[in-house]
Structures are given as structure tokens and as C-alpha cells.
Structure 1
Amino acid sequence: MKEIADEPSGTRRIRRKAVRDVSELWPQGVMPYELHPDLPLSMKTTVMAAMKHWEDNTCIEFREYSPEVAEELGHHDRVLFRKGDGCTSNIGRNGDGVQETSIGTNCNILGSVAHEIGHSLGYYHEQSRPDRDEHVTINFANVAPSMKANFLKYGYDHVRTDEPYDVGSIMHYGPTFLSRDGQSETISPKQRALTGFMGQRKALSFLDIKTANELYQCNAHCSVKPICLNAGFVNERCRCSCPFGVSGKLCETVASSSTGCGGVLKESSGIFRTRNYPRDYGDRVVCNWLIEGPKNSNITLEFDHFETEADNYAPCGYDWLEIRNKGPEVPGLKFCGTGPEGPLHFTTNLLFLQFRSDEFYNEFSGFQARYKIESPPDYIWADFSDWSPCSARCGGGSQIRKRDCLKGHCEGMKFEFRRCNIQPC
């Protein structure tokens, strides 16, 4: 598998979402590793912290390579972490013994190393997915000429796209990555409010974790698997892991909130507000709301007042309201300062909202908003067709099904894709 580089330095090559060929995954979910003797102590510390971050959130295990470990696992493949000029890694297990991951000075942070480990585990770049043009625009005129190949996209027959597109993935490029001048946008989200999510190197996103769970079949040993709702998944402990703003044994309810805010809103219209409004909302406040309407209905929000701490350096990194309209697992619109102007219209019957404040400078009144659940739109989808035959007998293939729009201007996906025959050849 080709070597690639992901952070803005060094040589770069192309990648996609996650490998389909199970032979490129690490057997038993165990990735053996070595630390090069010349790797500085600070980088060793970062590598160990990044591996722990993966272990804390997934069933993947990292074991220091030794002949005994190789004999136990039945192979001698491992990842060698070494200092390099850039930040590079192979994609998945290459099966040739030692494969190197380079840690450059500018990526000696937990999130960037976790990103490189993601490649080693089988992850490709999110923005190389075949459906990326529905979510982001690649500004090729702003890309450094020698780096344009990094922005190619792959077809559905090569890329695993079982989960929604995730601008908040730790595997997504930032808006100015590989720019010709270091400042111009190379990637622009269709929804500008999502710009701040792209290129984050703080932690694995919920969908990064869910993808690892599926790639490495973390729950295969579970004799009983609960049916998780709201995009939750069964983890290695045979319990539901729930996304943003959702909780409960089956991810069936809205997550708990600070006193005086949050809850489920099902009436046709109503008002919701931050804690203590119109007085200061206070420190370390978390408010979770779920607005739920009948199937196929729409939701409109309008803010009577909005005042939180403004953020001139990061995209709403202090106090903010996030509105997720494509499911609780997909990053949504984020507002702070004076908030949105005018009403917000959403073509969904479910909105997940979360307000958060940090521990500093919270002498602000927060917001008061009105919501309205509106009648279903005037369009009709036909049922999906049967799934097509699997494109491969083993090693991971894909299937497709489609539906037709019977009336009006239908919103949503015409095609759906899924994996099949993932057993090794």
C-alpha cells in the first residue's frame, strides 16, 4: 500500500476512507509496534499517548513487538515509529514485515499522531470519499501544484462509505491544508458553519470510533447485541455507545443537562432557552435538547435573542450552540457571539441541539429561541429496490440499491451502498 503524508509538510500522496480488503487490517485487532532508538523522548511520549487514545475508545490493542508477540500473533508485521521530515504512514497492514510511520516536528501532537495511526489501522482521508462533492468543494486553483493528486476522489467500488460523511473526522483535511500560499482555502464545506470542524486534531470523532468498531468487529464476541437507536452502536463491552447529546441503554433519550435547561420538545411549537435566561448562564453548563416532529415534517428555529462569548481565534471554541440536523453523529451548525441571523429552516423531523459553556468569562445572557414543527413536504419517494449482487465473493465487496422520486422535488439520497462478503479470500 502506498505511503502518504497527512499534515502540511513533507511529501503527500492520495488516500480514501477505509480499506475494504480485510487482509489489510491487523489480525485480532492487535497492531504490533516498535519505537526507533533515535525517536526523541517527546515523540515517544506522544506516540504512546495517541495509542492509548485509540485503545481507550476502541477495541484495538497496541503491543510492543518482540519475537514472542510475533509467534503469538502468527506474523512479524509491525509499525516502526521514527522521526522524519514529514508526517507519513502506510495505509493498513502491508504484510511485508516492518512498515514505517514518520513523525515530523510539526505533527508531534496527540491528534496528529492519532491521525497517522488511523492510516496504519486502515483509514483513508475522509475528503477522498466518492460522495465528498455533496459535502465539500475542492478549490483546485488554491492547491499547491505538486499536491493536487491528494485531492482526487475514489469510486464506490474502492471506498468503504457505510457511515455519513464526517467533516469532524480526525482523518479530514483542514480548510487550508496543502494550500499554494498557506492561507487560501483548498477545501470549503457546502455549509460554511462547518468550516471549523475540518482538520481538527483534538480527538477521534464519534464516527471514527464507530468505523473502528465495524472494521475490527469489536462486538463479534457478544452473544446478545442490543438494538441501539439514534446512530448508536454496540461496542466491545456489548453495550450501546451513543453519539452527541444522546444517552440511555439503547441511546433512546436525550442526554442529561445542567439544571434549568434541556429536554425533549414535541409540541407543534414552543420556546426554549439557556439556563437562567436572561441572566448569566454560568460556568460549565451543558444543555441538550431534542426537537422531534412527525415523520417527514420540517422544523424552523428563530432566535429572539442570542448572546454568548465571542471567539475571534477558533470557530466557537469557548461557549457555543451546536445544531445537528443530519443525525446526532454528524457535526452540525455551530453558533456563538451574536448567533444566527434570521430563521433557520431544516428539512428534517429531528434536531439535536447542545449548548456548552467553559469555565471563563460567562457573564452573558445566552439565548431564547422559538421552534415550529411544520407539515410534511410535498414529495414522495418510492421504496428502495432490492440490493444488487455483491461485487466480490470475498475480501470485501459492495452492494447498491436505489429508489425513484414519485412526486415533487425529493430530498435525500437516491442511492444507498453497503459492504458485503467481508470474509477473507
Structure 2
Amino acid sequence: MLRILSVIVCCLIISSHAFQCHYKHTKRAELEGIQKWPDNTVFYEIDDAYSPNEKQLIVDSLTELTTKTGNCIRFVPRTTQPDYVRVLSKDGCWSGVGKSWSGGLQELSLDRSGCMTKDTVIHEFLHSLGFNHEQTRPDRDQYIQVLYENIEPKNKHNFDKNPAAAFQSAGLPYDFDSIMHYTYNSFSTNGLPVMVTANGVSKDWRYTMGTGNVLTDSDVYKVKKIYGCA
């Protein structure tokens, strides 16, 4: 059964590995998942606005994602393929979630002024592979408490639970260190935390959640599981 889901996919770097989203796209998604890339292959183009060093950073990041997933996912420069990701320097760091249901070109923005870090590139391409943010898992209340009163009103929807995220969790424990997790103060309207650890969960995560800047074992396993490599 297909449903229309509002998918938050746009991120603006506020530190070396903290993400905030400022845009959204409405995408059709399956309740149990998203549209995956056929043959585990993502074709891509990189806009010529990027410098040679920036282009190399993007390529190196994709190579790392391929290598760490045991070649489960391949990123291939586009030639004439009709369905592909075009990497552009627009406002912020953002991507659609999963392969576009309508096919054709789909944009992924890596703003040259704030998104050119390896963890950001990997984060956004994980969105393009179909992965949502960790804190949108339906079981997140067992691990975190969302303090909606401290969230900017226009961005409260960024913390909505996402049924697709349950499928994507692949049965793994909640991962505070995931490269797909928000920081504790993302979208804060008053400087106070927007998320704290739930009762019974170690407070060590209270200020470190969402600060991971590398793929965790959990991140890797989720990709491999969803794309049939585990």
C-alpha cells in the first residue's frame, strides 16, 4: 500500500557534523520502505560549479560508502542513464529520500559554502538511498524525549515519527551515534535542548547524540540489509 509522506530531506550544516533541515519534499513512499535503486546502483552527475578538489571530495565520499558497505552499493558516473542524481550547489544540504518514483533527474544539494565535508556527503547520499533520520524511528520514545516546546514552530514536523524508519531500522537498537541522527539542539528556538535521553537511558548521550561523523556499524548494516547484502 502506497501513501503520501512528507519527507524531510534538506540539511544545513551548523557544525562539522551537525545537520538542520530547512526544506522538505513530499514523496510517495511505501509504508514498509521506499523506492530503492535497481541493481543497487546509483548513477550520478556532479555539477561543474564545483572545483576539482570539491569534486574529488564527493567521489572519495561515495567510494568510502561503497567500500564500507562491502560493495553492496555502487555509485557510477552517469553517461546516458535516464534515472540519476545530479549533485548541485544550492541553498543548504539536502536530498530526496530514495529513488524518485517519477524517475528522471533528482537533485541533491551540497552547498559549497557549508556542505563540503565527507560526513555531509555521505549523509545526503544515504537519504538518496532511502534512509530517514534516526530520531524519526517510531520506537524513538524508548530512547529520547522530544521537547517540542523548545523547537522552532515551523520545524516541529522534522521530529515526526516516520513509519518507513521502522522498516529501515532493520531490527537494530537505536543508534545515538548514527551519521543520520540530529544533534540535541537542532532547531532549538531558545538555545535549550530539543531532545534529551529518555528515562533509564544513559545521560552520556544527552549532549553527544548526533555528533557522529562517520558511518557506524549500524549504519552500514542497515544499508546492507535493505539492499539485500546481509
TM-score interval for Structure 1 and Structure 2 normalised by the shorter chain: 0.7 to 0.9
- Judged with a 3 Å threshold, the aligned counterparts in structure 2 of structure 1 residues 157 and 40 are, in CA distance, closer, same or farther, namely closer
Query: Counterpart of 2:186 in structure 1: which amino acid?
Result: F
| Aligned counterpart for 1:5 among listed residues 5, 10, 34 | 10
Q: d(CA) in 2 for partners of 1:201 and 1:194?
A: 11
| Largest Rg, 1 or 2 | 1
* Contact 1:129-1:155 within 8 A present in 2 as well: yes
Q: TM-score, normalised by structure 1?
A: 0.45
The match for 1:172 is: 181
* 2:100 aligned partner: 94
More helix by percentage: 2
Equivalent in the alignment of 1:61: 74
The aligned length equals 209
Is the alpha carbon distance of 1:134 and 1:106 closer, same or farther for their aligned partners in structure 2, counting shifts above 3 Å? same
If the length of structure 2 is used for normalisation, what is the TM-score?
A: 0.81
1:39-188 alignment runs, 5 A limit: 39-58=50-69, 59-67=72-80, 70=81, 76-95=82-101, 96-104=103-111, 105-155=113-163, 159-161=167-169, 162-181=171-190, 183-188=191-196
- The answer on whether the counterparts of 1:19 and 1:92 sit within 8 Å (CA) in structure 2 is no
> Offset at 1:214?
0.7
CA–CA separation in structure 2 for the residues paired with 1:88 and 1:62: 18
Q: CA deviation at 1:128?
A: 0.6
Q: Which runs of no fewer than 5 residues in structure 1 stay unpaired? A: 71-75, 220-425
C-alpha separation between the residues in 1 aligned to 2:9 and 2:48? 23
1:214 aligned residue: 225
Larger RCO (CA under 8 A, 6+ residues apart): 2
| Inter-CA distance 45–29: structure 2 relative to 1 (3 Å threshold) | same
Where does the alignment leave 5 or more consecutive residues of structure 2 unmatched? Answer: 13-18
Distance 1:213 1:187, change over 3 A: same
From the superposition, tell whether residues 99 and 116 of structure 1 become closer, same or farther in structure 2 (CA, over 3 Å): same
Counterpart amino acid of 1:108?
A: M
Post-superposition offset of 1:174: 0.7
CA distance in 1, matches of 2:179, 2:108: 17
Q: Deviations over 1:312-365 (max 9, x none)?
A: xxxxxxxxxxxxxxxxxxxxxxxxxxxxxxxxxxxxxxxxxxxxxxxxxxxxxx
Measure how far apart 1:187 and its partner are: 1.4
Identity of aligned residues (%): 28
CA displacement 1:126-147 (0-9 Å, x = unmatched): 1111100110011111111211
Q: Deviations over 1:44-89 (max 9, x none)?
A: 232112201211111111000012xx3xxxxx21111110111110
Q: Any idea what the Cα deviations from partners look like across 1:67-118, whole Å, max 9, x if unmatched?
A: 2xx3xxxxx2111111011111000001421100111222211111110011
Work out whether residues 19 and 160 of structure 1, in 8 Å CA contact, stay in contact via their aligned partners in 2: no
- Quote the Cα distance in structure 2 between the aligned partners of 1:13 and 1:23: 16
- The answer to whether the Cα contact below 8 Å between 1:93 and 1:121 also exists between their aligned partners in 2 is yes
AA paired with 1:91?
V
Does the 8 Å contact 1:130/1:159 carry over to 2? no
Q: 8 Å contact 2:9–2:94 — kept in the other structure? A: yes
Distance 1:78 1:14, change over 3 A: closer
Range with greater deviation from structure 2 (44-53 or 94-103): 44-53
SS of equivalent to 1:133: helix
CA contact (8 A) 1:91 1:119 kept: yes
